[in-house]
Structure 1
Amino acid sequence: SMALSRSEHCQMTLLAFGDGESISEERYFGDTVYYVLEGDMPLRLEGHEVRLGAGDCLAVPAQTTHAIGGSGPFKLLQITIQSN
């Protein structure tokens, strides 16, 4: 991963996942947007799995438990913005 910006109110990170890598369930301080750059990204959100492909994006509201990854390799941009 590579942090592009980290401040109190906004975090932007480039992430690259290898085959089978994942991030377990977590919640973020703000609304999080995932933009898939390469590959297919599985995202588990509130008991449902969503698959996003290159060029797709999805917003996850603040404090919503979710997990990403677990299949083939993919790259994404993650942007989290603090909600007030």
Structure 2
Amino acid sequence: MSLVNLFDAASALPGAWSSRLLGEIGTAAVKLLRMDGTPVREEAHGTAEILIVLDGRMELVVQGDPVSVGPGEMYRVPAGTAHAVGPGSHGSLLIVEVPETAR
């Protein structure tokens, strides 16, 4: 698949917080998901991840500090950094990450 309309793909997802793998670049996965306002509890990963808000807003909590990420903005979460998605986060999110099983 070469051309993907990210907004159409996000609206076609079966439910919020269920991601769709769009492709891979080397060992990195590019995933798309839809946020619906519900929070996601804190987690940390062994690899860094890039979070890109396409539309809407993501209310992150990174090591206890609030970070609001708006449309067209990107946030890089360093490896091992505790982060959560706060309530009210909504819209489409693109994630670029190296799955821990690929390391």
Q: Same fold (TM over 0.5)?
A: yes
| TM-score (normalised: structure 1) | 0.82
Moved more, 71-80 or 45-54: 71-80
Q: CA offset at residue 8 of structure 1?
A: 8.9
Q: CA RMSD in A?
A: 2.5
> RCO higher in 1 or 2 (8 Å CA, sep ≥ 6)?
1
Q: CA offset at residue 12 of structure 1?
A: 1.8
Identify the match of residue 35 of structure 1 among 32, 40, 52: 52
2:73 paired residue number: 56
| TM-score (normalised: structure 2) | 0.69
SS where residue 30 of structure 1 aligns? coil
Identify the match of residue 83 of structure 2 among 49, 66, 78: 66
2:98 paired residue number: 81
Unaligned runs of 5+ in 1: none
Higher Rg: 2
Unaligned runs of 5+ in 2: 1-18
Q: Point out the structure with the larger strand share.
A: 1
Partner Cα separation in structure 1 for residue 50 and residue 89 of structure 2: 20
Identity of aligned residues (%): 30
Partner Cα separation in structure 1 for residue 40 and residue 23 of structure 2: 20
Q: Point out the structure with the larger helix share.
A: 2
- Count of residues paired in the alignment: 83
Superposed structure 1 runs of 4+ greater than 4 Å apart: none
